[in-house]
Structure formats: C-alpha cells, structure tokens
Amino acid sequence: MENLASIMRPEKLEDIIGQKHLIGKDKVLYNLVKNGKLFSMILYGKPGIGKTSIAHVLVNSLNLKYRMLNAVINKKEDFIIAIEEAKLNDGMILVVDEIHRMNKDKQDILLPYLESGLITLIGLTTSNPYHSINPAIRSRVQLFELKELTKDDILEGLKKASTYLKDINIDDEALNYIINSSSGDLRSAISLLEVAYYGSNSHHITKDLLITMGAKPIFFHDKNADGYYDVLSAFQKSIRGSDVDASLHYLARLIEAGDLDSIYRRMSVIAYEDIGLANPSIGPKVAAAIAAANLVGLPEARIPLGTIVTEMALSPKSNSAHLALDEALNDIHKGFTGNVPNHIKTTSQDYLYPHNYPNSYVKQEYLPKELKGKKYYQPKRNKYEDNLNKLHQEMKGEK
C-alpha cells in the first residue's frame, strides 16, 4: 500500500512546497523547465525538504526518460545497465540518491558518459557536496542548495495532506506538535500525521495521542521562536564566550534533537575559529571525541561530547590564525598578488635553503615585491602564542 507522502508527490513545480529560490517564477529551475533544457546537477539539503520531488518533477515536466538509482543499494552492474540503456536511447537522465556515498568504481564508470553528455546526472544528497562529492563529479555538475523548510511550509504540507484523509479531526495544538517533531522534514511530518490518523479513535488526532506514539518535539523553537540555526549559533557563541554552562545547555538541546552531524560540524569549526592557537591540541581532541561519539552512538555519545565541549568552553581563545588568512584572502580577491620572487621559484639557483643555516633560518624575501613588509598575522596574548612567538623571535636571532 502506497504511503501518503508518495501519493502526494508533486507533478508540477508549482506543487512543491518551499524552495522558491530555485523553483519560483523566473528562478533557475523554473526557467530550465520553461526552456526545455536540463543540465547535470546535484541537489543538496536536509532530509524531507524536496530533493526527490524536484528531481521527479524536472524529468516528468520535460517528458525525459530517466532511471533512478541509489549509490549504496545499487551495484556497479546497475550503473552499467543504465549507461547501455542511455546508448540505446541517445541519452538519459540518471537520478542518483545518496550520491555522496558513490564509490570510486561507480564514479569511474559514470565519468566518461557524464563528460560526453550521454548521461545527465541529477544527484541527491544530504551532505555538503563541497566536502563529500568527488571533485571530478563536482566539476561536471551545477550545485543547488535546498533551504530548510519553515514552520509555515510544514503547516502548508500538513494541511494539504489532511485533504487526502477522510473525516480527519486535528486541532492546532496537535498540528504544532507534529511540526515541532519534524525538525523541518516534511516527509516525516506527513508520515507522523498518517500514522496518527489510522492509529486514532475516529481519526481524532490530539497532542496526547502523539505523545503516546513516542513523537518527540525538537527543541529548536522556544517562546521567542528561536530557529534551528539560532540554537547552533548560541552553541558556538557560548563556547566562544567561555560560558561552560550555556555551552552545555545548547549542546543538550542539540543532543535531545538527535542532531549529531550539526554538533560535529560546529565543534570542528569552533576548535579552529575560536580556540585556534590558544590551545592547538583542541582540534585533534575534538576529532577524537567525534570518533568516540560516532562509535558508541546515542545516548552514550553525550559523554565524550559533554567532556570535549566543557574543555572547549574553558579553553583560552584566539582567532588570530584564521583572521590572518582572511586578510590574505581579502588581498587576493582585490588583486593584490604580484609575481613569486625569482629566488624561490622552482628552477631558481639563488634560493637559500634555511636548514643550511643556524636555527634553520636565513633572512630572505618570500612575499611578492608588491606586498613586501605586509603583516597578516597579529598574535593574541595567550600562553601558547606568547611562547610560539618567543621561539620564532629566537630563531630569527631577534632575542
């Protein structure tokens, strides 16, 4: 028996909920359909926000032949069959779910036909393609990020789903409970509504019924309507501000939501953006804590996470290194570059090899002449950087 989310799958772009930045009138995917042209692309974003629905609408709106595969479930042979089918039909759309998990064998099979245009790829992933997709694939596709659905988007979807359920009786309190339980996943919200409908007495859905079903609201929304990213922002700012109690509070909210991936990503950024050179050992420690949390899973994952977040909040802070790089990048963007000095070019005979000199240091210019004397790194005052800078000065014979 087909579930409600599948029955409701949109047939036109206008039926898709949310993602107006891509499918709204005169937006890029709208115009691709309007102009009858499709290019290889990757759609990425959280679960249940419309990736599969958009792929389905694109190929059907253009009346194109397509095959849908899963990078994990389908074998190499399935990809070979799809390519042979494409040859017979002078091209085909290949929709690949979980494309971030496509192994090298499947990529090697696909790449030549992606390059030639025989295969037009629509990849679907919940992972950031800039981190998880092979560069060879990424360079041959357009990347489109799907935005998180709002509370109003989920409500719109639930009301639409309710029209498929005869004699449904649900109040606003129950609807809001489903919305908060879904964490922006419309498919999950519709599934919960459908189970509650068939599991209720006379199709009357209440908050109490949802609680007995084990539905649990996600604590990203408080009385001030703080959103998902506000909680993540508060988590980082509490660690940056060295408030250990607030750090643990927001960590608890994220753990209660089961959102380990967001915790991992945010902690990894904080380790280098906010703590940095003031405690450089924190980066490997965060990686180790993430590995331990992944190994044991919830609920035990809270133990290594609580330990490392406490240390992060208590650690001294420095953003000197990443600010220095940002300043260097800013110069590049403005065109402040210049040629590499001749004496450090690959073929130079005039390069002075520092290891041949006392303290492995010899004075010579490394920056382009246009940037001579430029100082990007501005040290912060903390024990580690003070010591590092002292050693650096001694190496140069300045102290």
Task: Name the residue ranges covered by the structural domains of the chain.
Answer: 4-145, 151-212, 228-314, 335-379
| Cβ partners under 8 Å of residue 249, min gap 6 | 238
How far apart, in whole angstroms, are the C-alpha atoms of residue 136 and residue 257?
35
Q: What would be the CATH architecture of the domain defined by 151-212?
A: Orthogonal Bundle (1.10)
* Collapsed DSSP state (helix, strand, coil) of residue 74: coil
Whose tokens are 């210049």? That residue is 338
Identify the CATH number of the domain defined by range 4-145: 3.40.50.300
CATH superfamily of 335-379: DNA polymerase III clamp loader subunits, C-terminal domain (1.10.3710.10)
How far does CA 327 lie from the centroid of its chain? 25
Whose tokens are 């509490």? That residue is 238
- The pLDDT profile of the chain, 399 residues, written as one tens digit per residue, is 678 988 888 988 989 999 999 998 889 999 999 999 999 999 998 888 999 999 999 999 998 889 999 998 999 999 999 999 999 998 999 999 999 888 888 888 899 999 999 999 999 998 888 777 888 888 899 999 999 888 899 999 999 999 999 999 998 999 988 988 887 889 989 999 999 999 888 899 988 888 888 665 554 443 333 456 778 889 999 999 999 999 999 999 888 877 788 899 999 999 999 999 999 999 999 999 999 999 999 889 999 999 999 999 999 999 999 899 999 998 888 888 888 999 999 989 999 999 998 888 889 999 998 888 888 888 888 888 888 888 888 887 776
Task: For 228-314, give the CATH class.
Answer: mainly alpha
Residue 230 neighbours by CB distance under 10 Å = 15
Structure tokens at 222: 């408080």
Instruction: For 217-262, give the DSSP string.
Output: --TT--TT---HHHHHHHHHHHHHTT-HHHHHHHHHHHHHTT-HHH
Q: Do domains 4-145 and 228-314 have the same CATH topology?
A: no
CA distances from 342 to 12, 328, 345, 355 (A): 60, 21, 5, 20
Task: Evaluate if pTM is beyond 0.85.
Answer: no
